[in-house]
Amino acid sequence: MNTSIDITDLFIMAGIEHKGRVQITHEDMSGLEPHPKNDWLYLGLLSLKEIAKREGVFIRSSAFIGSGNGIETIAALKLFPNLETIFITDLVKNIQPAIIKNITANANEELKGIRTYCLEGRDCSPLSEPVDLIYGNLPLIMIDQREIEKHRLSLTTLTDEQMYMHLSQGPYDMLTRWSLLSQLGFLLSAKEKLAPGGSILTFIGGRIPYYAIEQCFRRAGVGYRKLFTSFKRQSDGQFFKQYAEYETKEGVDFAFYDYKEAVEILRQKLGIIAPEIIVDIEDADLKILLAPTLISANKAYENYQKGMSVGHIAHAFEAWND
């Protein structure tokens, strides 16, 4: 396969000056949503920009965990003028050369003189030294690895449960129930590889209660703050199916929303045209506002199959060693 994606609009929308394209040459590489603001990378680039605004000149080393296509690394190379070392990783084998090709095609000048490692591996285990900034937008739904292999399922939504179940505190552990153990595993590994004063950028869907997210950061022993919230349209059917299956297995209800109705509420009550960033409202109040349009993952999957649009809340967080 070879799909060429124009990343210019994404960069313009995130306020980063750059025109270019990336090539998706492998089925396990991540693409981009048709509307760039519906892609996690929109929150990703805004978050990198936020860090750059505050301490861009102090960032000398950075790691991009689960890069998938290299886009966030291209943005970082444009934003951090004093980078000396970068690590780009993905759990998937064989896509590293294509990721590097995308990065060099878009940021060859910026890359000059930077020690660059593009590696295969889970979470922060491939990093051989601490870094100032760690970026990871990683999947949350835990499933048996044999299922992933048997059905050739994508690692954008799914992760191998065996790698994280040792972090569970038992069947009533809220991080197990809300499938946050892999996020906890990522944060623990990032904490170990974070240089003093460094930051972790991580991205979590608001499909789960905020208290569970809070618990995840607390158990990782990191301080955190929310950088951005948006309301995204989700267009991947496989994604709903996997959340629906996990929901049934654990007896929880994930929070998805009827997209059209939710967008209308956001417009009427907050004057926000989704998927613009949501500001000036607390998470609890946002959920109350959108409650009339709330649906479970099972319902979301059903609606998706009927051709209806589904959305969900998305958050970008910054975390640091406490």
Ligand X SMILES: C[S@@+](CC[C@H](N)C(=O)[O-])C[C@H]1O[C@@H](n2cnc3c(N)ncnc32)[C@H](O)[C@@H]1O
Strands 310-321 and 194-205: antiparallel
Helix axes 71-79, 96-111, angle to 10 degrees: 10
Q: What Rg value do the Cα atoms of the chain yield, rounded?
A: 19
Binding region for ligand X (CB under 6 A) out of 6-14, 135-143, 282-290, 302-310: 135-143
Instruction: Tell me the per-residue interface mask from 157 to 196 with ligand X, x by CB under 6 A, - otherwise.
Output: --x-------------------------------------
Is residue 66 close enough to count as binding ligand X by CB under 6 A?
yes
Minimal distance in Å, beta carbon 172 to ligand X? Answer: 25
Is residue 230 close enough to count as binding ligand X by CB under 6 A?
no
C-alpha to C-alpha distance for 86 and 83, rounded to whole angstroms = 7
Is residue 141 close enough to count as binding ligand X by CB under 6 A?
no
Is residue 198 close enough to count as binding ligand X by CB under 6 A?
no
Minimal distance in Å, beta carbon 152 to ligand X? Answer: 13
Phi, psi at 143, each rounded to 5°:
-150, 160
Is residue 40 close enough to count as binding ligand X by CB under 6 A?
yes
Strand partners, 61: 85
Minimal distance in Å, beta carbon 249 to ligand X? Answer: 20
Q: Hey, what amino acid is at 12?
A: I
C-alpha to C-alpha distance for 44 and 306, rounded to whole angstroms = 31
The dihedral through the CA atoms of 249, 179, 92, 16 has a sign that is: positive
C-alpha to C-alpha distance for 97 and 139, rounded to whole angstroms = 22
Q: Which helix (H) or strand (E) holds 9?
A: helix 8-14
For ligand X, which is the closer residue by CB, 229 or 260?
Answer: 229
Is residue 91 close enough to count as binding ligand X by CB under 6 A?
yes
Q: How many CA atoms lie within 13 A of 214 on its CB side?
A: 4
Phi, psi at 208, each rounded to 5°:
-120, 155
Asked if residues 275 and 35 have their Cβ atoms less than 8 Å apart, the reply is yes
C-alpha to C-alpha distance for 98 and 106, rounded to whole angstroms = 13
For ligand X, which is the closer residue by CB, 290 or 314?
Answer: 314
**# of chain residues touching ligand X (CB under 6 A):** 21
Asked if residues 142 and 181 have their Cβ atoms less than 8 Å apart, the reply is yes
For ligand X, which is the closer residue by CB, 139 or 198?
Answer: 139
Asked if residues 132 and 62 have their Cβ atoms less than 8 Å apart, the reply is yes
Minimal distance in Å, beta carbon 268 to ligand X? Answer: 30
Is residue 156 close enough to count as binding ligand X by CB under 6 A?
yes
Residue with the CB atom nearest ligand X in the bound state? 66
Q: Which of 33, 90, 110, 247 binds ligand X (CB under 6 A)?
A: 90
Is residue 67 close enough to count as binding ligand X by CB under 6 A?
yes
Binding region for ligand X (CB under 6 A) out of 49-57, 67-75, 104-112, 234-242: 67-75
Binding region for ligand X (CB under 6 A) out of 40-48, 104-112, 206-214, 234-242: 40-48
Minimal distance in Å, beta carbon 68 to ligand X? Answer: 3
| Binding residues vs ligand X (CB under 6 A) | 30, 40-41, 44, 65-68, 72, 89-92, 122-123, 137-139, 155-156, 159
